[in-house]
Amino acid sequence: MKRLLNMIVVFMLFLALMACTSAPVNMDSVSNQQTAPNKSQSNGKKVLFVGRDSGGDAIVSKRLKEVHGLEVTVISDKEVSPEKANGYTLIYVSESVNSGKIRDNFVKAAVPVIYAEPQSTSDTGMTITDGYGKLDAGNVAKTIQIKDSKHQLAAGLQNQVDVYKDNGKMGYATPGSEAIVVATVPNDDQKATIFAYEKGVKNAKDQPVLAREVFFYLFNGEEINQTESGWKLFDAAVRWTVGKK
């Protein structure tokens, strides 16, 4: 009997020792880990990225994933067709593409589009024929003039804003009368660097716009040259185009 009692005491001491040395489980912490959102995790919305999967395009693609939570599918300009737009929340057309392969493929897709290729604006009706171009370092392409600081696309910025750290290449176009002109080349209102069409208005070719469209000045290769203000404007363009506040 005494031996049995000794065994029970030893067993109870063993259990007490194990309880003392084990770290307590914080259930609130576990719950937070399970429910905390992952910024890079897709929110169910997808973007069709027309461009390359390397270089400056890769920087933009990464931002769409990590900052905006979009699932990104990259295709080349050779793969573009109207059917490619099906199932996507947003289309981004990089300046790296051949505009001759983009043409008006997405105009009737009823999917919001951001165009960074200025030559595409003529084919899509965002501008009149030849109403586009680019500035380069020789034109001191570093600064833009905010024209509509109250619009969401202006990202709260005002007056002249340096969107590049150093002079670089920047796209522009001359929008139609119903476009929202957010920013232009300083002292030249005909050269818009950021402008947009709301769904339902008429474009420069007097055609109805089926989904929101934005032109954004960013040239391929200048992504590493973008300032914080430049990226704020980019993020604002993405949010507005897909309908986020």
pLDDT at 98: 96
Q: Is the pLDDT of residue 171 over 90?
A: yes
Domain ranges of the chain: 46-242
**Neighbour tally for 203: CB within 10 Å:** 22
Tokens 């912490």 correspond to what residue? 29
Q: What is the pLDDT of residues 68-87, one digit of tens each?
A: 999 999 999 999 999 999 99
Give the range among 47-61, 121-135, 147-161 with minimum mean pLDDT. Answer: 121-135
Rounded distance between C-alpha atoms, residue 81 and residue 84, angstroms: 5
CATH-assigned architecture of domain 46-242: 3-Layer(aba) Sandwich (3.40)
Q: Is 10 exposed, middle or buried (0-12, 13-18, 19+ CB in 10 A)?
A: exposed
pTM: 0.82
Q: Is the pLDDT of residue 188 over 90?
A: yes
Average pLDDT, integer, range 176-195: 96
| Reported confidence tier of residue 217, pLDDT bands at 50, 70, 90 | very high
Q: Is the pLDDT of residue 220 over 70?
A: yes
